[in-house]
Structure 1
Amino acid sequence: MTSKSPYRSFSALFLTTLLMLVAQGSLSTYLGLSLAQQNVDSIWIGALMSCYYLGLVLGSKLGHKVIAQVGHIRAFVASAAIVSACAMSHVLINQLEIWLVMRVIVGMGMMCQYMVLESWLNEQTESSQRGTVFAFYMITSYLGMIGGQLMLSQFPELGIAPLLIISMCYSLCIVPIALTKRIHPAPLQPAPLKILAFWKLVPQSLTAVTVAGMMAGAFYGLAPAYAASKGMNTEQVTLFMSVTILAGLLAQWPMGKISDRIPRSRILRFNAAILSILTLSMALLPLTGFALLIATFCYGVLAFTLYPIASAFANQNVEQNDRVALSATVLLTFGLGACFGPLLASALMQLVGPAMLYAFISCCALTLFLRLIRVNYTQKMVKRMMDEQQNAQFKMGSGDLVSSPLAAALDPRVDEEVVVAQMRDEDFIAAYQQVPAGYDEDIEQEQQAEDHFEPGEPADNYPRNTEQNKTV
């Protein structure tokens, strides 16, 4: 691609993304509204969204194999055709059990499509334009989701027409990528999973990713039913959803700038604390009309930025050669959280009432806040104890002998009693094992705060909000 026209170079992929997200953005809302109008139990609506995320998780492995065997374009065309057929099957089949299976298949097909688009962009984008290209990719994705909501608002009675348009968009998204003149990207390489290792290394980040998945799955699956229960018609429900998604779009760039200047762990704690208060208010107060739109706009700003901040926080604390494995682990963690979130929220909604959607999200946010506080405090105490212990030790040069605890005992300049005490200090050994390599950026920056302001990482470390594409 030329360095002067990144948008024109990837125009086919961007147009494909737009059509694909229009279809996917409206399909989830359509299914939720359709079941709500039929007075179907909330547990079924939540199960539909859970099955979609289950399909995303399963599709991450299947997609690698399919793309490696038949190539990117053929894999995308096959997946889009299957997803289009599944969308039209809702016209012919009314059995909820079959719908659940269809949602799993749609999730798997969508994951394969996402992998084709993002791997293509990743490989053929120049380093100097990567941030620009993926920013435009994210804007296109959000605009597609908002366009899907606006399209659905034109059909207040729902019916068959929206499903026909959804199927048409899924079919038409094949055309730009099938006719593109760009060279095929190289086959995908499988990304290893190191779930337990990363949970020990970046516990705050993966906790935030899990909770963000639970919130996203619950919101996208059950918010249309919640809005319908408050007496909104189809047009008002789609406006409610569009405002929330638009808030997430508008918040990405400024929150990325903020996360480059303020420690990301602090931003995560702040978002979690405000979210718990905001969503509890939405659950308890009888908000309607403009007040409800303002509340859901604020929710979109806070909730839709949890995932990218947590992902950036995780990436700054791992080595470069571990980031592919970390990305796979983050996606899997988000998907698993999104599988369980709708099920738990829908069960509470069925037992107590629709307002329990935001009560559940409030509990998730409060749990995240308490977990982050505890992990952060533990890591600081462990780091402080390690510093105190290491101040009494003499650090020798490199060599095999240095790795042995007997090395200090052979140095005549070290007090023998101190060495023996440290060799027997089981608390110090256990504490050392608890501290991950990138324990927390707060610790380093607290020591520098009194002298000068230390900016964070460059803006390109704030990642694209990939999972927001996958949460509709």
Structure 2
Amino acid sequence: MSNITSESALSSIATPVIGLTFFAVASGFLMSLIPLSLAYFAISESLAPWLASVFYFGLLIGATCIQRVIKLMGHRRAFILFLTLVALTVVVMLLLPNGLIWLAARFVAGLAIAGVFVVVESWLLMADCPKKRAKRLGLYMIALYGGSAAGQLAISVFGTQGMVPYMAVLMLLFLATLAPLLLKGGQPISHELQTINRKELKLINRPAIMGCVVSGLLLGPIYGLLPLYLSQATAFSQHTGLLMASVILGGMAVQPFASALSTRMSKSLLMAVFCLLGCVAVVGLLESSSLMLMALSLLLLGASSFALYPVAITLASDTMPVEKMVSVTELMLLCYSVGSVLGPLMATSFSDASDALVVYLGVCLTATSIYMLIKSAASISSGQKPITG
């Protein structure tokens, strides 16, 4: 086994998981807080989709250059750097409440959060077998989405107006930084990291790339626009925080199932199944007449949308050695970011109807399900093993 996997056979994953959990709470709260607090800071709410898109554009640019930082500083120090940079963008937004400044700050935050994701994902994916990688990534997704759900619930605790919610975000980011500061062992050895060459790009499964792109097309609007949709276009505006938490909780709850099933069946077929469940959720949202049905539909929407990325990234890593894991996570994050940049803009231009966002999500899920079913059938007919998609 390559010594890149860890400094010892039992490398610690406590640092990335603990740090990620606090970061996820802060990030989940902040993503919903920003569009809901625009009016308080006298910034036009029409800027909301642009703030979401510029953030994901920063994520896209960041995904192209993180490996060099990790190779230079190591995973732990890079983790500290990126978390600190996210916190600084929040401070700038508070001190300078201006539309252009906020756009610039969210772009820089996207760069830094790309670093957080690549550091943590590659740290956990540097295992010596696909099954262990799937389990670790499942743990990563539970921490990420569980923290994000708690962040949505923070809306009810801290509100969305004034400085207090943003101070709470800064405190959570500080707690996230304590993990890599205090827990110094178990990080992967970074000097042996290798990049993916052009020939190896052809080995990456196309459904893996498509799964990451579609994940961005779905999650960009879900994070950036769904809070506004729930607060303005539904009868449940007073329950926006609870309903957004339902989305994230659905994403968290599905992770153990996605992790277990991804090693037992075709990953492209699994993504098709999740997309079909998402279509059911969209119908439920359009027909919701009660808070319970709305919450259940959003729970199912979260489960289907948030399951795509971990399944896709494990599919991409199946054919790659551990030395390539940072490059794999960069590439998959790049694909996700492309979708995330386009998603909010496509959703807002899709239609002028009040439920345009939900219809857009339904179209994306339906088209992806058809694509994945075709790819799954093609791989079975060509005699490929189901586990590779």
Give the TM-score of the pair, scaled to structure 1. 0.70
Matched with 1:444 is 383
Q: CA deviation at 1:148?
A: 1.4
- CA–CA distance in structure 2, aligned partners of residues 367 and 26 of structure 1: 31
Residue 111 of structure 1, CA deviation: 2.0
Letter in 1 for 2:17: F
Give the AA of the match of 1:293: A
- Residues 36, 293 of structure 1: alpha-carbon distance in 2 compared, 3 angstrom cutoff: farther
Deviation at 1:72, TM superposition (A): 3.7
CA distance, structure 2, for counterparts of residue 186 and residue 357 of structure 1: 44
Question: 2:87 aligns to what SS in structure 1?
Answer: helix
- Using the alignment, how far apart are the partners of 1:441 and 1:332 within structure 2? 28
> Which stretch shows the higher mean deviation, 247-256 or 274-283?
274-283
1:90 to 88, 93, 102: 93
Partners of 1:266 and 1:131 in 2: how far apart?
17
Farther-moved stretch of structure 1 (45-54 vs 367-376): 367-376
Report how far residue 93 of structure 1 moved.
Answer: 2.4
User: Structure 2: how far apart are the matches of 1:274 and 1:75?
Assistant: 38
Distance in 1, Cα, partners of 2:278 & 2:51: 25
**Tell me, what secondary structure is at the counterpart of 1:352?**
coil
Q: CA deviation at 1:341?
A: 0.4
Contact 2:215-2:309 within 8 A present in 1 as well: yes
1:191 matched to 2:130? The reply is no
Does structure 2 conserve the Cα–Cα contact (< 8 Å) formed by 1:193 and 1:326? no
Instruction: For 2:201 and 2:118, locate their aligned partners in 1 and report how far apart those are by CA, in whole Å.
Output: 25
Q: Would the alpha carbon gap of residues 115 and 44 (structure 1) be closer, same or farther in structure 2, given more than 3 Å must change?
A: same
Q: Pick one of 63, 66, 76 that aligns with 1:60.
A: 63
CA distance in 2, matches of 1:183, 1:4: 9
Match for 2:145 among 120, 142, 145? 142
Q: Is the 8 A contact 1:60 1:108 kept in 2?
A: yes
1:354 CA displacement:
3.7
Tell me the residue number matched to 1:310. 312
How far apart are 1:38 and its partner, in Å? 8.1
Give the CA deviation at 1:133: 4.7
After alignment, is 74-83 or 92-101 more displaced? 74-83
The equivalent position to 1:26 in structure 2, one of 26, 29, 33, is 29
Q: In the TM superposition, what whole-angstrom CA distance separates every residue of 1:183-217 from its partner, at most 9, and x where no partner exists?
A: 6542363533649954x973333223322210111
**Which of 173, 179, 194 is the matching residue for 2:176?**
173
Structure 2 residue 165 is the aligned partner of structure 1 residue 162: yes
Q: Any conservation in 1 of the 2:137–2:310 contact (CA below 8 Å)?
A: no
Q: String of CA shifts for 1:242-276, please: whole Å, max 9, x gaps.
A: 11111111112223333444433333333334433
Any idea what the Cα deviations from partners look like across 1:402-426, whole Å, max 9, x if unmatched? Answer: xxxxxxxxxxxxxxxxxxxxxxxxx
Aligned residues: CA RMSD: 3.6
User: 2 CA distance for matches of 1:322 and 1:194?
Assistant: 16
**Which of 226, 231, 236 is the matching residue for 2:229?**
226
Q: Distance in 2 between matches of 1:195 and 1:357?
A: 39
Distance of 1:323 and 1:195 partners within structure 2: 13
Letter in 1 for 2:92: S
1:217 and 1:338 in contact (8 A); partners too: yes
TM-superposed deviation, 1:54: 1.6
Q: What residue identity is the alignment partner of 1:268?
A: M
- Radius of gyration: which is bigger? 1
Whole-angstrom distance in 2 between the partners of 1:248 and 1:292: 16
> Quick check: 1:195–1:329 contact (8 Å CA) kept in 2?
no
Find 2:253's aligned residue among 229, 250, 255: 250
Paired with 1:372 and 1:216, the residues of 2 have a C-alpha distance of 18
Structure 2: give runs of 5+ residues left out of the alignment: 1-5
Q: Which runs of 5+ in 1 are unaligned?
A: 380-439, 446-454, 463-472
For 1:186 and 1:313, the matched residues in 2 are separated by 24
Identity of aligned residues (%): 23
Distance 1:19 1:312 in 2: 24
CA distance in 2, matches of 1:259, 1:119: 19
Q: Report if aligned partners of 2:347, 2:357 keep a CA contact under 8 Å in 1.
A: yes
| Inter-CA distance 104–345: structure 2 relative to 1 (3 Å threshold) | same
Instruction: Output the amino acid matched with 1:226.
Output: Y
Q: What's 1:112 paired with?
A: 115
CA contact (8 A) 1:51 1:339 kept: yes
In structure 2, how many angstroms separate the alpha carbons of the residues matched to 1:35 and 1:293? 25
Secondary structure, aligned partner of 2:158:
coil
Distance 1:178 1:320, change over 3 A: closer
Query: Residue 178 of structure 2 aligns to which amino acid in structure 1?
Result: V
Q: Could you state the TM-score of these two structures normalised by the residue count of structure 2?
A: 0.83
1:275-328 deviation per Cα after TM superposition (whole angstroms, max 9, x unaligned): 335325524x35441110011111122222122333444455x46589645544
Q: d(CA) in 2 for partners of 1:90 and 1:231?
A: 31
Count of residue pairs brought into register by the alignment:
380
Which structure has more RCO (C-alpha within 8 Å, separation ≥ 6)?
2
Aligned to 1:295: 297
Of 75-84 and 293-302, deviating more is 75-84
Render the CA deviation track for 1:329-358: whole Å, top value 9, x for unaligned: 32211111111001111234xx51441111
2:368 alignment counterpart: 368
1:205–1:289 Cα change, 3 Å: same
Query: Counterpart in 2 of 1:278?
Result: 281
Q: Work out whether residues 45 and 346 of structure 1, in 8 Å CA contact, stay in contact via their aligned partners in 2.
A: no
Q: Which residue of 1 aligns with 2:3?
A: none
For 2:103, what is the secondary structure of its paired residue?
Answer: helix
Q: 2:57–2:110: 8 Å Cα contact kept in structure 1?
A: yes
